[in-house]
Structure 1
């Protein structure tokens, strides 16, 4: 793939920040949107703006067709068996909470176990904390190796008859670690446990086939894969979604409403109460078209090449510590610290040179404690980044190190 020509399709990147050409290395927080996505959202509001499902007039029909067409694109993108298994949500967080509130609270009881990893985003920790508190179940954690990869021997020992749910990230938003999801799903299913995968960092970078993985739930967000903010996906196996109760009630998700009782629509709409995020879904559909045009295999290869290059160049900087596994075991994320420099100072200095990175705990405080770091800086890459961006980052880090070295 030609990242330079792809970059031209992202108008936001054609600007200066603090007098320097923008170098955007914060795609794990949110990715930018290509013209095709911007135009799809604009076209909906300009030409088709109407609520979906409820009307028979022309605008309503066009809006519904585009909204449901986007669902079909998602189904094909992740290879779900049916559009009934594709639920539109506000994002990964909402998707995980839906499973934790509906499935977990109905199926967990005292003595049962939910197992997650220390590398999870808070969105895949707190819902399970609350679910076990509400049901009397127990929350456990898999162990990590020193390089931030899962200890698979511990995984095999930990999953047992009491395990009812395993929930883990496909790709760590801090370490970039790519977890062996399929192997873990097989281990969990031997014990009749269900597996939820947080794909917020996986779906944008890796080819996802939920039937091949055989996970029970897979959650991801549109804004991290060139789509709009405020739209996400909960994939769930149809047989599990059928038995789950909705967690939001109101219009759109009902079949019949009586004075003292109501019935729900069939899948997927029983989980989509209220006016849905129509423009967001249409924009996500356009983003999927954009990614498919490039090819997910091409994107993964580009990510790997850029990650290799970034880690090689950054290791040239003395006193810079990189966290996490080797480049071939991670996705397009490099998290680091300069010895003696607070990551917020690092990020502020880089911003003065037009370079955008993230600094903080990255919504992963348990992992920060495991790393023995209060915070880190993070550079994350995507389809529009080039080796030139990495060179600018390395130059900026060198200047930052020199500046703070002189100050102190």
Structure 2
């Protein structure tokens, strides 16, 4: 099937991504490729500029410390936070959610409200922290059913923790309404923003959420770095998550006092160059514009869904207006076989349960194939995907 006639105008950034030359990369929901600007920033960070932060009295350490803190301010501004000190650097978004789950005082409220489409990283931390979990269903088109959430919320819920954008379905949460529902019973709202931050504008103050977690590597930045935003008064009330250097005020063998947030939650030497790389990634995204990226990905999703809908044995999941993600299955073919055959055709997709096994059960499948787009994606990727699926169908006699 030829979809070349239905070409979606592309953002002219593909040439800025050296790793995808001659390759159709459709796995950005797992991790985004890096533009040359980010690669160069990371190289300079380890080459010309490298030094430790928050410790050295020499000039380069001071310069690198300023670069690290400038990165913190850039992330805070990127999601609309009022104060850079409300932004905590973690190893990843998973650790960010674990930090909240492990340190937030329950105050006699031991329940958390999740949804059927949550990533394991927004399920397991709450289990480990001893919360009882209530599960909000999803609608037929893959949205979190906030009408059901409104009926389910009670004064026993300490937290409502939801994906801002589903990593499987691409469905976008009405986050402001979710905040209203949580706060109506005095609960806090934590949003898993891993898929949202690279795709749609985020303003935590406008949303009125209480915590927001995101990941650098999905935002065109490096691996090994995540971010947790929390309201200042909430962070001030949380105890340290880990102990070590950099997070203390004073230490004796009898007693330790701790630094204020965000340093209180950043024990040990941080991922210095990772923060520098994330700052560069945010600058790059801002230069392109999140509204432009979202419009571009939305157009590609529409084009992809229309192309796949013409194939009788393909089943599509999620809403029509999903944010940059298209999950599908082919009757009689395991997604792993789809992914393997597509790889032979130079197309990279994700195949599996996507760390969302409860959602797979709801969808009635063991796994799905997932194509996910980014600013560098274009119609040639969709054409290659469809051509590869044609080969899948021939191999499996369909």
TM class by smaller structure = over 0.9
Q: In structure 2, what is the equivalent of residue 99 of structure 1?
A: 100
Check if 1:220 corresponds to 2:214. Answer: yes
Q: In structure 2, what is the equivalent of residue 318 of structure 1?
A: 312
Equivalent residues in 2 for 1:57-76, closer than 5 Å: 57-76=58-77
Check if 1:194 corresponds to 2:188. Answer: yes
Asked if structure 1 preserves the Cα contact closer than 8 Å seen for 2:11 and 2:296, the reply is no
Structure 1 stretch 397-406 or stretch 117-126: which is displaced more?
A: 397-406
Check if 1:296 corresponds to 2:303. Answer: no
Select 1:233's aligned residue among 214, 227, 230.
Answer: 227
In structure 1, what is the Cα distance between the partners aligned to 2:244 and 2:256? 10
Check if 1:10 corresponds to 2:17. Answer: yes
1:147 deviates by: 2.0
Asked if structure 1 preserves the Cα contact closer than 8 Å seen for 2:349 and 2:372, the reply is yes
Select 1:358's aligned residue among 350, 367, 377.
Answer: 350
Select 1:380's aligned residue among 349, 372, 379.
Answer: 372
Q: In structure 2, what is the equivalent of residue 17 of structure 1?
A: none
Runs of 4+ in 1 over 4 A off after TM superposition: none
1:146 deviates by: 2.1
1:58 deviates by: 1.3
Query: What secondary structure, in the 3-state scheme, does the structure 1 residue paired with 2:97 have?
Result: helix
In structure 1, what is the Cα distance between the partners aligned to 2:80 and 2:337? 43
1:4 deviates by: 5.5
In structure 1, what is the Cα distance between the partners aligned to 2:257 and 2:152? 40
Q: In structure 1, what is the equivalent of residue 333 of structure 2?
A: 341
Equivalent residues in 2 for 1:389-404, closer than 5 Å: 389-404=381-396
Select 2:199's aligned residue among 192, 202, 205.
Answer: 205
In structure 2, what is the Cα distance between the partners aligned to 1:401 and 1:96? 41
Query: What secondary structure, in the 3-state scheme, does the structure 1 residue paired with 2:205 have?
Result: helix
Q: For residues 298-327 of structure 1, what are the alpha-carbon distances to aligned partners after superposition, in whole Å with 9 as ceiling and x for unaligned?
A: 11111111111111111111100011122x
1:152 deviates by: 2.3
Unaligned runs of 5+ in 1: 15-20
Give the number of equivalent residue pairs.
391
1:190 deviates by: 1.6
Structure 1 stretch 396-405 or stretch 375-384: which is displaced more?
A: 396-405
Check if 1:283 corresponds to 2:284. Answer: no
Query: What secondary structure, in the 3-state scheme, does the structure 2 residue paired with 1:107 have?
Result: coil
Q: For residues 344-380 of structure 1, what are the alpha-carbon distances to aligned partners after superposition, in whole Å with 9 as ceiling and x for unaligned?
A: 0000000000000000111000001111111111000
In structure 1, what is the Cα distance between the partners aligned to 2:215 and 2:158? 25
Select 2:119's aligned residue among 89, 112, 121.
Answer: 121
Give me the TM-score of the superposition, normalised by structure 1: 0.94
1:108 deviates by: 4.9
Query: What secondary structure, in the 3-state scheme, does the structure 1 residue paired with 2:159 have?
Result: strand
1:49 deviates by: 1.2
In structure 2, what is the Cα distance between the partners aligned to 1:201 and 1:32? 14
Query: What secondary structure, in the 3-state scheme, does the structure 1 residue paired with 2:47 have?
Result: helix
Asked if structure 1 preserves the Cα contact closer than 8 Å seen for 2:34 and 2:220, the reply is yes
In structure 1, what is the Cα distance between the partners aligned to 2:300 and 2:26? 12
Select 1:258's aligned residue among 252, 257, 273.
Answer: 252
Q: In structure 2, what is the equivalent of residue 38 of structure 1?
A: 39
Select 2:129's aligned residue among 128, 131, 154.
Answer: 131
Asked if structure 1 preserves the Cα contact closer than 8 Å seen for 2:11 and 2:375, the reply is no
Two-structure CA RMSD over aligned residues (Å): 1.3
In structure 2, what is the Cα distance between the partners aligned to 1:7 and 1:300? 16
In structure 2, what is the Cα distance between the partners aligned to 1:126 and 1:356? 28
